[in-house]
Each structure stands twice: as structure tokens, then as C-alpha cells.
Amino acid sequence: MKVLWAPWRMEYVSSDNNEGECIFCTGDERSQDERRLILFIGNRSIVLMNRFPYINGHLLIAPLRHVSTLNALSPEEKLDLITMVEKSIGVLKEVMNPEGFNVGLNLGKIAGAGVEDHIHFHVVPRWNGDTNYMTVFGEVRVIPEHIQATYRKLLPFFK
């Protein structure tokens, strides 16, 4: 039997989010941005890496304001979110050269929202062959690059 090591996944498996804090609510403390994988904080939105990604470069874009529905957003917040989704796609194209993207949001727990009380978009770069037998038969994703290495590649493009 072969073993695939992914020790960083243990944090997800054993986590019950005992801190009780929203991953998208930034507060005023900037010293933890790298640990939290925050790439950008603007006037109305935040971009961070998904700590438990589907594939390298999986980004999350959320409004700074803690809201759970699209209709709770102001027109300015909606425009800013879509603008940041567009910018994030541009950065991922330049840095990682994906062949396509999945972009979307999961509204409600039943739809797959892991953080259902703070609306957020997923931007997932895709490459031909990034879903293979490991995902299909083993229900295991193989992510070829460490998340901190991806963070360091993307961060300069969001400054």
C-alpha cells in the first residue's frame, strides 16, 4: 500500500474552530495576515487563500462587512467584490498560468458553504488533468505545491 502524506490537512480534520472567529473578519491586527493567508485588504473587500483548497491557488474573496446574503450588500460592495474577483483571476493567470477557472459562491450550509454567515466567492484555477484517479477513486486531492509557497508567489501581485 502506498501512503500519501498531507500533514497540513490534520488541522482541518481535527479543527472545530474553537476560536469562534470569522476567517473573513480582519480586525485591526495586521501582524497575522501571513498566518491567516490574507493577500489583500481593501476598503470594501478581502482576498485570502483557502486554507483547505481544492487545488493550488484557490482564493476566497469576501466583503469586509460581515453579511450572509447578496441582497445585504451595498451596490458599492457588490461592484468591489466582482472587481476583486476579476483582479484575482488576472493575478492567477499571470502567476500560475491556469487553463480555466471555477468561480462561484455557496449560499447556505446545504449548498456547501463552510462559512455560511459571511458571504464569499471562490476563485479556483483549473488545469487540464487536475482531476485524476486519486480524486475519483480515492476521494483524495493531490495538491502539488505547499500552501505557503503559493502564498509567497501570489502576495506581491496583490500589493
Q: Can you tell me the distance from the alpha carbon of 93 to that of 34, in angstroms, rounded to the nearest whole number?
A: 22
Q: Give 126: exposed, middle or buried? Use CB within 10 Å, 0-12, 13-18, 19+.
A: middle
The catalytic residue positions are 120
Q: Give 78: exposed, middle or buried? Use CB within 10 Å, 0-12, 13-18, 19+.
A: middle
pTM of the model as a whole? 0.80
Those residues with Cβ within 8 angstroms of residue 48's Cβ, 6 or more apart along the chain or in another chain = 23, 24, 36, 37, 38, 39, 59, 60, 62
Number of domains observed in the structure of the chain: 1
In a domain, 151, yes or no: yes
In a domain, 94, yes or no: yes
In a domain, 84, yes or no: yes
Question: Are 156 and 94 in contact, with CB atoms under 8 Å apart?
Answer: no
In a domain, 24, yes or no: no
Domain that holds residue 35: 31-158
pLDDT of residue 130: 74
pLDDT tens, position by position, 53-93: 888 899 999 999 999 999 999 999 999 999 999 999 999 99
Instruction: Over range 1-14, report the average pLDDT.
Output: 55
In a domain, 18, yes or no: no
Question: Are 63 and 119 in contact, with CB atoms under 8 Å apart?
Answer: yes
In a domain, 141, yes or no: yes
Which CATH number is 100's domain given? 3.30.428.10
Where is pLDDT greater, at 141 or 99? 99
pLDDT tens, position by position, 119-139: 999 999 998 877 655 554 556
CA 11, 60, 153 angle in degrees (round to 5)? 80
Q: Can you tell me the distance from the alpha carbon of 95 to that of 101, in angstroms, rounded to the nearest whole number?
A: 14
